């Protein structure tokens, strides 16, 4: 099974899927647990897990791609992974 993680508006392909541990919260460190890497493979060891990055700032005066173009780029990238 393939799992494709696509962040939302204003998101990031990695930090969207992270969480702080109690220890990192106390120390003021960056999040240390990447859900897609640290937890999901334990439940689905044969899954191929892919993140997709696109320009997603809703407040940017210029977008690299519109949503249709980003979707098309995603499809092309997925075809190349086959």
pLDDT in tens, 40-79: 999 999 999 999 988 777 776 655 667 788 889 999 999 9
| Whether the model pTM is above 0.85 | no
Short-list 76, 75, 74, 66, CA closest to 13: 74
Extract the runs of DSSP E, i.e. beta strands, from the chain. Answer: 2-6, 18-19, 33-34, 48-52
Domain boundaries defined on the chain: 2-81
Q: What are the residues whose beta carbons fall under 8 Å from the beta carbon of 70, sequence distance 6 or more?
A: 54, 55
* Buried-exposed string 1-35: b where 16+ CB fall within 10 A, e elsewhere: eeeebbbeeebebeebbbeeeeeeeeeeeeeeebe
pLDDT in tens, 11-49: 888 888 888 766 665 676 666 788 899 999 999 999 999
Q: Supply the pLDDT for residue 68.
A: 83
């Amino acid at each position: 099974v393939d799992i494709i993680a696509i962040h939302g508006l204003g998101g990031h392909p990695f930090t969207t899927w992270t969480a702080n541990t109690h220890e990192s919260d106390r120390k003021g460190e960056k999040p240390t647990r990447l859900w897609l890497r640290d937890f999901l493979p334990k439940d689905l060891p044969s899954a191929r897990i892919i993140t997709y990055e696109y320009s997603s700032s809703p407040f940017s005066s210029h977008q690299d791609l519109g949503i249709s173009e980003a979707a098309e780029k995603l499809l092309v990238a997925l075809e190349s992974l086959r």
